[in-house]
Amino acid sequence: MRAAGFRVTGIVFAVLAALTTAPAAEKPNIVVIVADDLGWNDVGWHGSEIPTPTLDRLVSTGIELDNHYVQPVCTPTRVALMTGRYPSRFNLKCTTPSNDQAVPFGTPILASLLKKAGYATALVGKWHLGSKPEWGPNHYGFDYSYGSLAGAVGMYDHRYRLKSPFVHTWHRNSQLIDDEKGHASDLVTREAIDWIEKQKDRPFLLCVTFHSVHAPLVEEDRWLAKVQHVKSPDRRLYAAAVVHLDDCVARIVGAIDRAAIRERTLIVFTSDNGAQVDHGGNAYPPPDPKLRNFSSNSPLRGRKAQTYEGGMRVPAFANWTGKLKPAKVRQPMHAVDWVPTLTKRVGVEPPENAKWDGCDVWPFLIDADRAPLTRTLYWVVANRWFARRLDHPAGHHPAGEPRVQGRSGAGQSRRRARLPAPETGRGAKRNLRRRVSRQPAPGARL
């Protein structure tokens, strides 16, 4: 009996020792992939003639976000995605494409918040939240950064708009460089893969913000050969860029698979706004051809820079092997939701000064049949403002359209939009503020 007692005691101590030395629960790696100007009708899972097999596979094995909203232009979406706040909370510069410093130093953003939780952080690709090196990603919580500080670039030239003081924009860790060779999409993909291979043994945040498929478009014959069935030469060039982008995503996912970290890696994909549709050309380093009807948001009305669905409802999905079951989520979401959602997922509490406009939408990712939430989303684009109260998922409103309040943007007639006449004047602005104030509390679980 005494010997048996010693054996039991020894087993108990062994179990306790194992428990006390076991590692804490693993935090997921987070890979956020942002396409530039990708249209609703330009991905395979929306029925496009453009093949996107990698993206389609990630959608079919993950969560299709059918009502994922962003801002209708690039800088504002990036502010919303990084801060969890509507860009107009900061300044007017944040409501349009801008090369100025977008948000003040010290503003809590996704990278700085996850870094406090032990994450390695990197952004490769387009920044566009401040085009001077001293305003770059490394000053906002990113351990590593590479790509362009400004917006779109010549795909092989890597320079910004030729008449801009920020024409030289390609950098590594906020140090300008001019000796990189290759297509911007391939360079960004290379850096993403290198980061994954180096950081695979610790939790990381990797933001891959592609320049593609924003004009100017330059693609090799091997990509054009895959879309010869597209009749329009302008759209064929764009389709080649989409196919190239899809292949870049495949290479990044392949690196995750090779590192054997797929089951602990959450992948989020979105476009920064809707398709541009037409491009005037000669704005960026050549070749920068004029393009007409080259991208599409059909059947959604509108385009980039407009507050119609086509400008701000974009292709998006989330994929996490073994954690998220395949489903289509119709709950309206916005780019501002990702900061509270992702930080909540890894156990980061909101800072006292966070003032997030977004909400934790994780409950909808794990339960697509959850009752939809009534919420108001709003947009400020330059001197125009627009609020949308969504009582039902888009496309499922009893009247056929969500209720809308706001001012139409340039070229957006109310008759064409089939929307109620907007209120104007001080009363409308007060009503807008009241609606916004009734949104769920920052970081609230829905």
Known catalytic residues are: 74, 128
**Among 99, 208, 100, CA closest to 150:** 99
Helix (H, G, I), strand (E, B) or coil at 209: strand
| Residue that has been written with the tokens 């590192």 in this structure | 259
Residue 268 belongs to what H/E stretch? Answer: strand 265-271
Q: Tell me the two tokens of residue 15.
A: 């179990």
Instruction: Compute CA 310 distance to the chain's CA centroid, rounded to the nearest angstrom.
Output: 16
Residue 312 belongs to what H/E stretch? Answer: helix 309-312
Burial of 309 (0-12, 13-18, 19+ CB in 10 A): buried
Q: Tell me the two tokens of residue 305.
A: 């820079």
**Among 64, 92, 60, 67, CA closest to 79:** 92
| Residue that has been written with the tokens 């009749």 in this structure | 231
| Calculated CA dihedral for residues 299, 305, 308, 313, nearest 10 degrees | 60
Burial of 15 (0-12, 13-18, 19+ CB in 10 A): exposed
Q: Where are the alpha helices (DSSP H) in 259-294?
A: none
Q: Tell me the two tokens of residue 429.
A: 């602005």
Task: Using alpha carbons, list the distances in angstroms from residue 35 to 97, 343, 355.
Answer: 16, 22, 27
